[in-house]
């Protein structure tokens, strides 16, 4: 495609060189530049793409998008100076791939917790309604049955447009994607044309990246601020910030709630270890998901189906048969009925929700025995450290025993992370707490403490199949470890 055609809709500060140059590939990474490439120099958190412009040219880049021109620009190369390279990249990518998002019904889901759950439920529901669908999520990207490994919750703009193009070629009509707060700030969603946006909730996470909670709220809101008037913006009005999200959106404002007036209103009739029973739009339905937080996820999925024109009765009937995504309240039960629950709760709010759910659901055939809750939990390294003491405190308050352990220590000292967690535990709860750095040993210890009907919550890693320590990802899957340890007893 000719360079000038890639610049459609981008505010340009200055250009030089041949705008008719033929561009054959795009990249923001100099290591991936080849002959015919357009290199977009983006300022990152670790380094500045502008310092790789020369390398990119040596490797054959024909054109450069940047915020600042090099001191001595190469005469054979075209330069485009813009205010914000990351944002420009979104539009360049959409132009290069011929605007795939405009030809799809693309729905984005944002919020601290529930993005993967909602996006995956939507993907599964719309497939069962008979559509070909795409999914971009933390667990995996998917084009109908084809699974494509995901590296981020929300991919960069080039990858997203590439995937959307593949989805279109496959005949997909609907795509559901998670929109992380990092993605909004880093402009990974710039240039995409959304049919709708969903807000789940906002609580403590990622303060390492955003600095303050207000900045984090602004990042999430930025998604809705970008939606066009033709889109819908569906928000959870039971969340304190639900309405804030829609303050400046041009999109049609819609809402869902379990507590108050809203476009889509639901009520939980029963919540058990076998599923949720709800009233939605005067219909009573059983769902396969567990926990009140999932009632919110289901309601937003139902609302989205209606906003996309589906029949309410059919949507609810099909939704009642849909299973949760992997690693979300996934149960592994031993022969003698110890209940293991693997859940991706990695924020204080998610952990508290899951533990409150478990506290309300435990039951035993034995009279007078209230099953114990044993929680195995850790916090990621090189991520928001302020959530560590809070999560340990919550784990102890809502469990009978807690084993603090590692969850992707990355480049931090695992014991230092665990010490920060320990610091949050109140003196009355300290007796409940043990620390075992090795997650495998921690799970084994939890099992050794359990009796039939006790519940072992293994929180934080969910679907993950690795433990990341000092740059190396070792095979590790909480579900497999639980299953093996149950069998070996």
Ligand X SMILES: Nc1ncnc2c1ncn2[C@@H]1O[C@H](COP(=O)(O)OP(=O)(O)OP(=O)(O)O)[C@@H](O)[C@H]1O
Pair of tokens at residue 6: 């890639």
d(CA 94, CA 232): 21
Residue with tokens 């029963």: 270
Which of 183, 213, 211 has the alpha carbon at shortest distance from 197?
Answer: 183
d(CA 455, CA 339): 5
Is 330 a binder of ligand UAG (CB under 6 A)? no
Q: How many CA atoms lie within 13 A of 336 on its CB side?
A: 11
* Interface stretch with ligand UAG, choices 178-186, 257-265, 459-467, 474-482 (CB under 6 A): 178-186
Which phi and psi (to 5°) does residue 205 adopt? -170, 165
Pair of tokens at residue 321: 């048969």
Which of 99, 78, 66, 327 has the alpha carbon at shortest distance from 194?
Answer: 99
- Total residue count of the chain as it appears in this document: 489
Is 471 a binder of ligand UAG (CB under 6 A)? no
Q: x/- string (CB under 6 A) for ligand API, residues 444-483?
A: ----------------xx--x-------------------
Q: Tell me if 198 sits within 8 A of 115, measured CB to CB.
A: no
Q: Which residues between 173 and 232 bind ligand X (CB under 6 A)?
A: 178, 200-201
Is 343 a binder of ligand X (CB under 6 A)? yes
User: CA separation (Å) from 232 to 191, 241, 263, 304, 306?
Assistant: 17, 18, 12, 9, 11
- Going by the DSSP 8-state scheme, the letter that residue 322 receives in this structure is P
User: CA separation (Å) from 93 to 59, 136, 178?
Assistant: 21, 17, 19
Is 77 a binder of ligand UAG (CB under 6 A)? no
Binding residue (CB under 6 A) for ligand X from 90, 92, 106, 115:
115
User: Cβ 86 to ligand UAG, closest distance in Å?
Assistant: 8
Residue 30 marked in a binding site: yes
Q: x/- string (CB under 6 A) for ligand UAG, residues 11-40?
A: -----------------xxxx---------
d(CA 352, CA 368): 26
Q: In what order do the strands lie in the sheet with 37-40?
A: 12-16, 78-82, 63-66, 37-40, 25-27
User: Cβ 120 to Mg ion, closest distance in Å?
Assistant: 9
User: Cβ 169 to ligand X, closest distance in Å?
Assistant: 27
Q: Smaller CB distance to ligand API: residue 125 or 377?
A: 377
Q: Smaller CB distance to ligand X: residue 3 or 358?
A: 358
Residue with tokens 């009642």: 320
Contacts of 98 (CB under 8 A, 6+ apart): 165
d(CA 348, CA 361): 20
Report the partner that residue 380 touches, choosing among ligand X, ligand API, Mg ion, none (CB closer than 5 to 8 A by kind). ligand API
Binding residue (CB under 6 A) for ligand UAG from 11, 34, 35, 44:
44
Report the partner that residue 182 touches, choosing among ligand X, ligand UAG, ligand API, none (CB closer than 5 to 8 A by kind). ligand UAG
Is 357 a binder of ligand X (CB under 6 A)? no
Is 66 a binder of ligand UAG (CB under 6 A)? no
Residue 397 marked in a binding site: no
Is 297 a binder of Mg ion (CB under 5 A)? no
Residue 188 marked in a binding site: yes
Q: Smaller CB distance to Mg ion: residue 115 or 387?
A: 115
User: Cβ 183 to Mg ion, closest distance in Å?
Assistant: 11
* Interface stretch with ligand X, choices 36-44, 87-95, 111-119, 144-152 (CB under 6 A): 111-119
Which phi and psi (to 5°) does residue 287 adopt? -120, 160
Residue 303 marked in a binding site: no
d(CA 414, CA 162): 38
# residues near ligand UAG by CB under 6 A: 20
Residue with tokens 């000038």: 4
Q: Which residues lie near ligand UAG (CB under 6 A)? A: 28-31, 42, 44-47, 49, 52, 138, 152-154, 156, 180, 182-183, 186
Q: Which residues lie near ligand API (CB under 6 A)? A: 138, 153, 346, 380, 383, 407-408, 460-461, 464
Positions at the binding site: 30, 111-117, 153-154, 180, 186, 188, 383, 407-410, 460, 464
Q: Which residues lie near ligand X (CB under 6 A)? A: 111, 113-117, 138, 153, 178, 200-201, 293, 296-297, 328, 343-345, 349-350, 353-354, 462
């Amino acid at each position: 495609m000719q360079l000038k055609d890639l610049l459609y809709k981008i505010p340009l500060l200055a250009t030089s060189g041949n705008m008719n140059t033929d561009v054959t590939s795009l990249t923001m990474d100099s290591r991936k530049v080849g002959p015919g490439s357009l290199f977009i120099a983006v300022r990152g958190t670790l380094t500045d793409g502008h310092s790789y412009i020369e390398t990119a040219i040596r490797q054959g880049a024909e054109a450069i998008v940047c915020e600042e021109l090099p001191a001595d620009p190469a005469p054979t190369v075209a330069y485009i100076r813009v205010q914000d390279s990351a944002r420009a990249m979104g539009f360049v990518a959409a132009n290069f791939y011929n605007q795939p998002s405009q030809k799809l019904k693309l729905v984005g889901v944002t919020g601290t917790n529930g993005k993967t759950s909602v996006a995956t439920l939507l993907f599964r529901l719309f497939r069962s309604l008979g559509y070909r669908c795409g999914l971009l999520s933390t667990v995996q990207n998917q084009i109908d049955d084809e699974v494509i490994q995901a590296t981020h919750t929300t991919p960069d703009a080039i990858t997203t447009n590439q995937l959307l193009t593949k989805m279109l070629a496959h005949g997909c009509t609907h795509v559901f994607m998670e929109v992380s707060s990092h993605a909004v700030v880093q402009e990974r969603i710039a240039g995409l044309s959304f049919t709708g946006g969903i807000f789940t909730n906002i609580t403590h996470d990622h303060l390492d990246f955003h600095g303050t909670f207000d900045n984090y709220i602004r990042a999430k809101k930025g998604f809705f601020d970008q939606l066009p008037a033709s889109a819908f913006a569906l928000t959870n009005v039971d969340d304190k910030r639900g309405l804030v999200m829609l303050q400046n959106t041009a999109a049609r404002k819609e809402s869902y709630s379990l507590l108050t007036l809203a476009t889509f209103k639901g009520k939980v009739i029963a919540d058990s270890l076998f599923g949720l029973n709800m009233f939605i739009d005067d219909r009573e339905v059983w769902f396969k998901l567990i926990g009140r937080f999932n009632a919110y996820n289901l309601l937003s999925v139902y609302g989205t189906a209606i906003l996309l024109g589906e029949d309410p009765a059919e949507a609810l009937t099909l939704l009642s048969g849909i299973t949760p995504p992997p690693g979300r309240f996934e149960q592994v039960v031993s022969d003698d009925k110890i209940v293991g629950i693997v859940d991706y709760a990695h924020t204080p709010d998610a952990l508290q929700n899951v533990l409150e759910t478990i506290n309300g659901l435990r039951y035993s055939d034995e009279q007078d025995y209230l099953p114990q809750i044993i929680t195995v939990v850790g916090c990621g390294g090189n991520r928001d450290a302020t959530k560590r003491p809070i999560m340990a405190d919550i784990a102890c308050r809502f469990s009978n025993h807690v084993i603090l352990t590692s969850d992707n220590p990355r480049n931090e000292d695992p014991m230092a992370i665990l010490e920060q967690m320990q610091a949050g535990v109140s003196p009355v709860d300290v007796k409940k707490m043990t620390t075992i750095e090795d997650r495998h040993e921690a799970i084994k210890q939890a099992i050794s403490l359990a009796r039939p009907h006790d519940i072992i919550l293994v929180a934080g890693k969910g679907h993950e199949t690795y433990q990341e320590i000092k740059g190396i990802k070792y095979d590790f899957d909480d579900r497999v470890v639980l299953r093996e340890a149950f069998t070996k007893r």
